[in-house]
Amino acid sequence: MIQYRLDTITLMRKTSYTSIALLSILAPFTLAEEPCDTIQTLGIIYDSEDPSLSRIKLFGMAQYQVGHIDGTDSAGNGFSDTQNEFRRIWVGADVNFLNGFLFKSVLSLTQGENAATGDQDIEFQHFRNLYLSYDLTKTNNGNFSGYDKFEVGYGRRSLKLVDEWQRSATLFNPVERSPFSNKLWPTDSGGSHPAGLWVRTVVDRNDFQIGIFSTTQDDEFPGWEDGTLLYSQWEHDLTEGSSFDLKQAVVSAYTQDADIAEDQLARGNEWGGAIILRLHKGPWEFHSTIGAGENGGTTNPNRDGGFWGLTTMPMLWLVEDKVKLVTRYQYQNADSPEGIRLNSRYARSAGARGEADMSLTGGRGDTHHNLYLGINYYFCGDNMKIVSGIEYDDIETANGINVFKGWTVSSAFRIYF
C-alpha cells in the first residue's frame, strides 16, 4: 500500500478543491432513471402475488472511505495519519412467504482495517441479522384487525436507540456516527447485533416494540448462556395537524442484567435511554437526540458511573434530492474521568499503530465536543452516493487534561441494492 504523507493544510485545501471540482462536474450529471431503477431493484429475484412465496430479495452493500486526521494526542504531541479501507461489505437476503412470514439475513464480510496492523481481510465476520418474524395481521383472526402491524420475531437483529442508529449504514447522513451515538448502541463486542425475542405493534401514528435479548456473543447465532437485555421503543408521528412535512418523536431504552464475568452488550452499560425529535419542512431537516446511561462491566473506578449527551443535526437540501448539506454538534459528559471514549476511527486507530500516543487514556475522557460539516452527493438517492465531511474533536479528562484535539477530513462512497 502506498501511503502519502501530506501537510494538513495542504490536504484540506486539496480536499476542498477536489470536492468543489467534483461537485462542479457532478452537478449537471444525473444517472438516467433506468440505471437507477436497475440498482434499486437489482436484488429482487422473485416477486409474486402468491402468498405462499411472495418475494425473494437479495441485498448487497459496500462502502469505501478515506480519511486524514491531524491533531494533538494525549502526550501533547502533534501527529497526522491517513487511512483508506473498505469500511463495510455486507450481503444478505429477505424472503417473504406463507402470507406474513419474513426471513431476514445479513452477514458482514469486513469490519474495516485492523486498527493495530492496518491489514484488511475480506471474509465472513459475523451475521448482523438472522431472524424469522410473522405479522399476525395477515391471519384471518379478527383479534388483530385493529392493528396496522402485529409482528412477533425471534433471532438476531439491530436494536436502535439514538437517531443516528435509527438509520442503518445505508441511510445515515455523516461519514461516521458520533461517539455518543455509539456509546449508547446495544451491540456485542464485535460490532454485531444480539439475538432475542420481540413483539412489535403499529396502530395509527404509534409504533411500539419490546423484546428480551441474550447478551451471549457468537459470530453465527448466540445462545442464552449469559445475561439478558430488555429493550423497548415507542415512535409517535406528530405530523398530522402541524406545519411540518414530518414531525416525529421517539423514546427508546434498555436495561441489562449480566454480571462482569458474563458476556455483555453495549460495552457493559447497565442501562441506556434516548429521546429523539425529527422535524422536516421543505428543504430543511432537523434531527436531535438527548440520552443518558450508566457505565458498568468494569473493575476500573475511572470508567464507571453515569454519562449523558446530546446531538443536534441540522441539514439542508442545496439541490433537491441531489446535494445535501449536513451539520452536527455532539456533546457528551461522564461522571468518571474515563467514562466516555472517542470512536475507533481515526485517532485511536492511529494510536494503535504507533502514529500517536493514546496509551495514557485509550482515547477516554469525561468531556467531549464534536463538530461536523459535510456535503453529500446522491447519484441514485441513498442507493449510491458520496458522503464527505470535516469534523473537529475536543475530548478532555479530569482537570481539563487533553486526550485529543484535532481535525478529521473523510469521504466515503456508499452503494447498496
Chain segment 291-315, per-residue pLDDT in tens: 999 998 777 889 999 999 999 999 9
E strand intervals along 111-238: 126-135, 149-156, 195-203, 206-214, 228-237
How much is the average pLDDT of 88-100?
A: 97
pLDDT tens by residue, 116-170: 777 888 999 999 999 999 999 998 777 898 999 999 999 999 998 999 999 888 9
Give the integer Cα–Cα distance in Å for 296 and 279.
Answer: 34
User: Which one-letter amino acid corresponds to residue 340?
Assistant: I
Joined grid coordinates for residue 372: 461536523
DSSP 380: B
Q: Which run of H or of E encompasses 182?
A: helix 179-184
Q: What number is the average pLDDT over the span 344-372?
A: 88
Q: Tell me, what's the pLDDT at 258?
A: 87
pLDDT at 11: 39
Convert the pLDDT of each residue in 363-394 to its tens digit.
999 999 999 999 999 999 999 999 999 999 99
CB 72 within 8 A of CB 41: no
Retrieve residue 328's grid coordinates: 452536527
Provide the grid cell at 210: 419490546
What is the C-alpha to C-alpha distance for residues 71 and 69, in angstroms, rounded to an integer?
7
Which residues is 152 bridged to in the sheet? Answer: 134, 199
Q: How far is CA 244 from CA 172, 203, 281, in A?
A: 21, 21, 5
Alpha-carbon span 412 to 409, nearest angstrom = 11
Residue-range domain boundaries for the chain? 8-416
Residue 402 has pLDDT above 60, yes or no: yes
pLDDT surpasses 80 at 3: no
CB atoms within 10 A of CB 129: 19
Local confidence band at 221 (pLDDT 50, 70, 90 cut-offs):
very high
Query: 169: which DSSP letter?
Result: T
Q: Determine contact, residues 172/335, Cβ cutoff 8 Å.
A: no
Contact 260, 298 (CB under 8 A): yes
Give the model's pLDDT for residue 111.
85
Q: What is the pLDDT of residue 153?
A: 98
Q: Is the pLDDT of residue 209 over 90?
A: yes
Using DSSP's 3-state secondary structure scheme, residue 172 falls into coil
Taking 80 as the threshold, does the pLDDT of residue 25 lie above it? no
The pLDDT of residue 24 is: 40
Q: Regarding predicted confidence, which is higher, 111 or 244?
A: 244
pTM: 0.88
Q: Is the pLDDT at 17 greater than 50, yes or no?
A: no
Residue % of the chain over a pLDDT of 70: 92
Q: What is the CA radius of gyration of the chain?
A: 22
Q: Which pLDDT tens digit goes with each residue over 176-205? A: 999 999 999 999 988 899 999 999 999 999
Residue 21 has pLDDT above 60, yes or no: no
pLDDT at 350: 86
- pLDDT single digits (tens) 254-273: 999 988 889 999 999 999 99
pLDDT score, position 31:
57
Any alpha helices (H) in 316-410, and if so which ranges? 349-352
- The yes-or-no verdict on residue 69 having pLDDT over 60 is yes
Q: Which residues pair with 207 in a beta bridge?
A: 202, 235
59 vs 398 pLDDT, higher one: 59
State the residue for C-alpha cell 433537491.
Answer: 320
What's residue 34's pLDDT?
Answer: 75
Please give the grid coordinates belonging to residue 16: 476542498
Domain 8-416 in CATH 3.60.15.30? The answer is no
Q: Residue 15: its pLDDT value, please?
A: 42
CA angle in degrees (0–180, nearest 5) for 110-113-114: 110
Q: Which of 332, 196, 176, 183 is nearest to 266 (CA)?
A: 183
74 contact partners, CB below 8 Å, separation of at least 6: 357, 358, 359, 360, 361, 363, 401, 402, 403, 404
Length of the chain: 417
